[in-house]
Amino acid sequence: MFPNAYATPSHCHLRPLLKRWASHYTTDNARSDMLVEMTISAAIDGPLLEFDEPIEEALCHLMHRLALREFNLPRDTPALYEIEEKVE
C-alpha cells in the first residue's frame, strides 16, 4: 500500500497530504513547505509525472526525486513508499 494516499478522502486538499509526506525527508518546516511547493510546481510545469500510475504514486515518486536532489540526501535514502511497504 502507498503512504496513506488511498485512505485520504477525495475532498482533502493536496498540500496537507504532500506536507505529511515531506515530513519524511525533513523536520524543518520551511524546507518541508519548500519541498511541497517544488513538487506541485514540477508536477504542473513538466512531464515529470509518470501517468501510467495513480496520481498519488506519481506525486510520491516525484517528491522523492526532488528531496534527494534538493536536500543532497544519499541515493540509498528509502522512499516513503518503500518504508510503508515494509511496515505492512
- Other Cβ atoms closer than 10 A to 38: 18
The pLDDT of residue 58: 82
Q: Which grid coordinates belong to 11?
A: 475532498
Half-sphere CA count of 35, side-chain side, radius 13 A: 31
- Under 8 Å between Cβ of 85 and 76: no
What's the pTM value of the predicted model, to 2 decimals?
A: 0.72
Supply the mean pLDDT for the chain.
79
In this predicted structure, the answer to whether residue 32 has a pLDDT above a threshold of 90 is yes
The pLDDT of residue 1: 42
Query: What are the backbone angles phi and psi of residue 42, rounded to the nearest 5°?
Result: -65, -35
